[in-house]
Amino acid sequence: MKDNLPRIKSVYDSTYDGYDELYGEEQLIKYTMALRRIKLKGRILDVGCGTGLLLEFLESQALFSDVEKYVCLDISEGMLSLAFKRSKRLCKGKCLNVLGDALHLPFPEESFDFTLSFTVLDLLNKPLMGLKEMLRVTREAVVISLLTRLKNWTDFLRFGKEIGRTDKDVILLFNVKQALDGYLRKSIP
Ligand SMILES: C[S@@+](CC[C@H](N)C(=O)[O-])C[C@H]1O[C@@H](n2cnc3c(N)ncnc32)[C@H](O)[C@@H]1O
């Protein structure tokens, strides 16, 4: 399979300054939907954090008070430069920005309580490997939003089987444009 990482990186490196205006509103809806049932606390990893919109959302909704550490990871220097500005403004020493690849997360096993990743998995060459990596570094729950790859519960279970057993929660939010109620929470049996 052809590695699409250089292309993805170059797309985001050349369009990062228009991202918030184009997608900001849509992403806020996803964050609200996905995070309404969990209480974030401890160490949080944001995989493919982009410009740091999620960080800003959490801070604006007072969802940041029990967060001890917030790590933004992205492959695009352009996107991460904006996340860096945001974290400097909002984070008061809790935030770290890391340039890195979702398929090779540079963190030890279970080093985060929650991993969040919005609209990233679909972009990866190997989405399963991406999810496995997120589960590896997470203790409690992985929260992801997808655009297209999984469309229903059966797909999710199939996806789950390929991942293998875990007692960690995987919270999926599907394309909000098509199905606002496409929200699933499941421990993979
Ligand atoms: C659609 S944007 C979503 C950004 C952010 N999660 C949000 O909610 O606005 C996808 C992001 O994933 C990043 N990305 C794509 N592939 C990646 C990879 N292999 N590793 C890390 N980040 C990646 C891109 O650089 C981009 O910032």
Mind giving me the DSSP string for 115-137? EEEES-GGGSSSHHHHHHHHHHT
Cβ-based burial of 76 (10 A; exposed 0-12, middle 13-18, buried ≥19): buried
DSSP letters for 66-129: TEEEEEEEES-HHHHHHHHHHHHHH-TT-EEEEE--TTS--S-TT-EEEEEEES-GGGSSSHHH
Shortest-distance Cα residue to atom 27 of ligand 1? 50
Cα first-last separation, the chain: 29
> Residue 129: what residue type?
M
pLDDT tens string 113-156: 999 999 998 888 888 788 889 989 999 888 888 766 555 555 65
* Domains contained in the chain, CATH given: 5-187 (3.40.50.150)
pLDDT in the model for residue 162: 65
Q: How far is the CA of 58 from the centre of ligand 1 (A)?
A: 18
Residue 130 CA, closest ligand 1 atom number: 19
Residues of the chain with pLDDT > 70, as a percent, come to 76
Q: Which residues line ligand 1 (CB under 6 A)?
A: 5, 8, 12, 27, 48-50, 53-54, 74-76, 79, 101-103, 118-120, 123-124
- pLDDT tens profile 11-45: 999 999 999 999 999 899 888 878 877 889 999 99
- Across the range 95-118, mean pLDDT stands at 96
Under 8 Å between Cβ of 29 and 183: no
The whole-model pTM stands at 0.89
pLDDT for 137 equals 95
Q: Is the pLDDT of residue 78 over 60?
A: yes
Instruction: Report the distance separating Cα 177 and Cα 147, nearest Å.
Output: 9
In the three-class reduction of DSSP (H, G, I as helix; E, B as strand; rest coil), residue 47 is classed as: strand
pLDDT at 164: 62
Closest to 48 in 3D by CA, of 117, 97, 148: 117
Q: What is the average per-residue pLDDT within 151-177?
A: 60
